[in-house]
Structure 1
């Protein structure tokens, strides 16, 4: 699929394997999620526009490339999306941040919004939505729906793992929004979890159940 980018970088794949292991500690899982977030940020920002500017090196003036246009926005879906955020902000410290609070109703598996805060000019910026698990895709769809309501038109989704059902559902609703992920796993189980997956990313990151 042209709008689906599976990142096969060896470091991404190695760290994902470590995160899948049940024995991984909360501290270790959180650290790895942060590191993978930074690596995925390299991929999702690979085609950002550049402009030539005049600078002075210690030896001579020159023209050099610099990011053009308004700074991008990282939009983590709470809770687990914040696991990507620090690593990405280390890479792009000038980025703005939008927070989207959603939880999954345990009976219907539908996303329920409880918080939304974004920069006032978010519609004028590239927005990168962060959600480690694209399972049913209900949360990702709801987040992009909300951002489009605010006028956002240039959006990308970054996740750690995706299920085929989630990819199909997300692109069935938002075919214009590309996805970057480290892997597409086999399927969803009857509880809406990715199999083989790595469990609940939020619980593993925060040590909750």
Structure 2
């Protein structure tokens, strides 16, 4: 799998990722199908998101002899889900790194101002010793992503990355202005936002489609 990087944006262009994103776009995709595809895409994207993850050497006994190998210290990695939609891609990454810690940030978008309002925040301890990967299926206006990163920076994590399934030029520009050092990993950069802050052509309301709500 490879990524195409433009500035701080890493576009995961693997054929399987692109295939599954296309299936997710279909209006007629069932809740079960949409949820399963979100899980599969996020698991595939995890390999690129974590490509530069630090390794440590350990001694291991093979059936033939003692040798050394390299392992990821998952305890130093934190996946931060922006509620509620982030939950839909969290499990895919945990499937790849099940020992990672998990944090949650509850944010909702004010329908009039589109400003992100926080209602919940719970993180593992010693965040300053950990690498953080923030998860939200869509980077649209960028308000929720910026608010989440603002809050996390109060705890001085070692590094922060942002992972989404889709984004758009407006969201990229907003994040680049607020947090130019935070790389964005995405499967697609769509055309634009509409007047309500939804990505076009987009995926619709991802949380509603994952959880079967309206």
Q: What's the TM-score, normalizing by structure 1?
A: 0.97
Residue pairs, 1:100-115, within 5 angstroms: 100-115=105-120
- Structure 2: unaligned runs, 5 residues or longer: 1-5
The residue that corresponds to 2:90 in the other structure is: 85
Report if the CA contact (8 A) 1:71-1:94 is conserved. Answer: no
Structure 2 residue 19 is the aligned partner of structure 1 residue 14: yes
The residue that corresponds to 2:127 in the other structure is: 122
1:110 to partner: Cα distance: 0.4
- Structure 1: unaligned runs, 5 residues or longer: none
Residues 68 and 76 of structure 1: is their aligned pair in 2 closer, same or farther, counting only changes over 3 Å? closer
Please point out which of 38, 44, 58 is paired with 1:39. 44
1:3 to partner: Cα distance: 1.4
Residues 47-91 of structure 1 show CA distances to partners (whole Å, capped at 9, x for unaligned) of: 111222211001111111122585200001001000111111111
The residue that corresponds to 2:175 in the other structure is: 170
Say which SS state the counterpart of residue 76 (structure 2) adopts: coil
Report if the CA contact (8 A) 1:134-1:163 is conserved. Answer: yes
1:151 to partner: Cα distance: 1.9
Structure 2 residue 191 is the aligned partner of structure 1 residue 186: yes
When structure 1 is superposed on structure 2, of 133-142 and 42-51 the one drifting more is: 42-51
Residues 101-137 of structure 1 show CA distances to partners (whole Å, capped at 9, x for unaligned) of: 0000000000000000001112210000001000001
Q: What's the TM-score, normalizing by structure 2?
A: 0.95
Report if the CA contact (8 A) 1:129-1:156 is conserved. Answer: yes
Please point out which of 184, 193, 201 is paired with 1:196. 201
Partners of 1:94 and 1:26 in 2: how far apart? 28
Partners of 2:24 and 2:74 in 1: how far apart? 36
Partners of 2:75 and 2:86 in 1: how far apart? 23
